[in-house]
């Protein structure tokens, strides 16, 4: 029997379990890969918002990555909340040192509830140190506006932002459409440096979308770990998040998490 594929998430903890490390590990498990984690920060968080952010020491981030690299090389990895310049540098150094491939960067900046998960001055490190090492970056529309330094209103603006972000030499840009202001289908755009592929799904009318971005990028990472090419991994991730939002769990009194079991139970 072939050994099980291993995937790593380098991200923050969400005590509420819907986003961050917890969403990533649940997604890895559902998609049949062995999940590992390196924590960058602890958040005190629930469906009502982020009540505290406690960064993990940079030396502890490095120590976790060294321990994993020395014994359990990941077949794919994703980054989520990285919080600061120093932590981004530590992550970039480990990726370069161990020559890790299949790196998916979810450029987490601001939680849906408004909390700052990446310091403002760290944006340029993300672009210059991490994106060149990445196979894919998965911004939402506000994150793409910051990465591309432009505003986004139309589909042509989204494509222009993808082209600009690709200049960092990241291989694929996957621009998520959850934040689009229209009521039409949610279109996630995949750009491979030459062509655009539109991944479309029905827009689900729900406020329970906490952790959708984390779950989506974790599903892409799991697909890559299992040997899928980027387009197949992205399409599987789109189906995974669509099912997870569609079959919401309805827990918590605020913006609740999605249902990580739903893809497994789909008809
Ligand atoms: N209402 C919705 N209906 C269907 N799909 C959605 C909806 N909202 C988001 N999605 C999907 O969920 C994924 C994440 O998209 P979104 O743009 O919301 O990311 P995000 O803002 O980074 O999420 P978060 O910050 O909460 O982790 C995308 O694949 C998107 O298509
Ligand atoms: C820890 C953490 N990472 C990412 C997000 C973005 O959804 C969040 N809310 N919390």
ipTM of the complex: 0.97
The pLDDT-based confidence of 115 (bands split at 50, 70, 90) is: confident
Ligand 2 mean position, distance from CA 126 (Å): 17
Domain boundaries, the chain: 6-246
pTM for this model (two decimals):
0.98
The pLDDT-based confidence of 183 (bands split at 50, 70, 90) is: confident
Q: What is the pLDDT of residue 116?
A: 87
How does pLDDT run across 50-73, given as a tens digit for each residue?
999 999 999 999 999 999 999 999
Q: Minimal CA–CA distance to 78: which of 225, 198, 177?
A: 225
Q: What is the pLDDT of residue 259?
A: 98
The pLDDT-based confidence of 27 (bands split at 50, 70, 90) is: very high
Indicate if ligand 1 lies below 6 Å from the C-beta of 23: no
Determine which residue's CA is closest to atom 20 belonging to ligand 1.
213
Indicate if ligand 2 lies below 6 Å from the C-beta of 105: no
Residue 267 reports pLDDT greater than 80: no
Tokens of 201: 């799904």
**How far apart (Å, rounded) are the C-alpha atoms in residues 258 and 215?**
9
Q: Minimal CA–CA distance to 105: which of 36, 250, 8, 227?
A: 8
Determine which residue's CA is closest to atom 19 belonging to ligand 1.
213
User: Is 176 considered catalytic here?
Assistant: yes
Determine which residue's CA is closest to atom 25 belonging to ligand 1.
213
- Averaged over 94-117, what is the pLDDT? 94
Residue 83 Ramachandran class (φ > 0 left, ψ -120 to 50 alpha, else beta): left
**Shortest-distance atom of ligand 1 to CA 202:** 4
The pLDDT-based confidence of 144 (bands split at 50, 70, 90) is: very high
Q: What is the pLDDT of residue 86?
A: 97
Ligand 1 mean position, distance from CA 63 (Å): 32
How many percent of the chain have pLDDT more than 70?
100
**How far apart (Å, rounded) are the C-alpha atoms in residues 73 and 139?**
26
Q: How far is CA 109 from CA 33, 80, 213, 225, in A?
A: 27, 9, 11, 25
Q: Which of 43, 62, 212, 258 is catalytic?
A: 212
CATH class of 6-246: alpha beta
- Averaged over 127-136, what is the pLDDT? 97
Tokens of 120: 């403002």
Tokens of 112: 């849906």
Q: Which of 58, 138, 209, 221 is catalytic?
A: 209
Q: Which of 9, 58, 214, 238 is catalytic?
A: 214
**How far apart (Å, rounded) are the C-alpha atoms in residues 185 and 230?**
22
- Averaged over 177-189, what is the pLDDT? 90
The pLDDT-based confidence of 181 (bands split at 50, 70, 90) is: confident
User: Is 49 considered catalytic here?
Assistant: no
Q: What is the pLDDT of residue 111?
A: 86
Indicate if ligand 1 lies below 6 Å from the C-beta of 248: no
**Shortest-distance atom of ligand 1 to CA 205:** 1
Q: What is the mean pLDDT of the chain?
A: 96
Indicate if ligand 1 lies below 6 Å from the C-beta of 178: yes
């Amino acid at each position: 029997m072939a050994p099980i594929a291993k995937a790593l998430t380098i991200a923050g903890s969400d005590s509420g379990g819907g986003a961050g490390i917890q969403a990533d590990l649940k997604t890895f498990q559902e998609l049949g890969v062995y999940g590992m984690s390196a924590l960058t920060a602890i958040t005190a968080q629930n469906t009502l918002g982020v009540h505290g952010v406690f960064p993990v020491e940079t030396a502890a981030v490095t120590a976790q990555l060294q321990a994993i690299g020395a014994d359990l090389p990941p077949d794919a990895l994703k980054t989520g909340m990285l919080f600061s310049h120093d932590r981004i540098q530590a992550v970039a150094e480990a990726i370069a040192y161990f020559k890790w491939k299949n790196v998916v960067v979810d450029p987490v900046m601001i939680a849906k509830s408004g909390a700052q998960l990446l310091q403002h001055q760290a944006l340029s490190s993300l672009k210059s140190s991490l994106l060149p090492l990445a196979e894919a970056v998965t911004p939402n529309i506000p994150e793409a506006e910051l990465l591309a330094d432009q505003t986004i209103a139309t589909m042509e603006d989204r494509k222009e932002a993808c082209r600009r972000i690709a200049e960092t030499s990241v291989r694929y840009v996957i621009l998520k459409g959850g934040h689009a202001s229209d009521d039409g289908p949610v279109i996630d755009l995949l750009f491979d440096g030459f062509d655009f592929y539109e991944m479309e799904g029905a827009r689900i009318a729900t406020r329970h979308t906490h952790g959708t971005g984390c779950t989506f990028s974790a599903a892409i990472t799991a697909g890559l770990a299992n040997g899928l090419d980027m387009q197949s991994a992205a399409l599987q991730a789109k189906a995974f998040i669509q099912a997870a939002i569609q079959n919401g769990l309805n827990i918590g009194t605020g913006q609740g998490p999605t249902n990580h079991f739903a893809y497994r139970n789909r008809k």
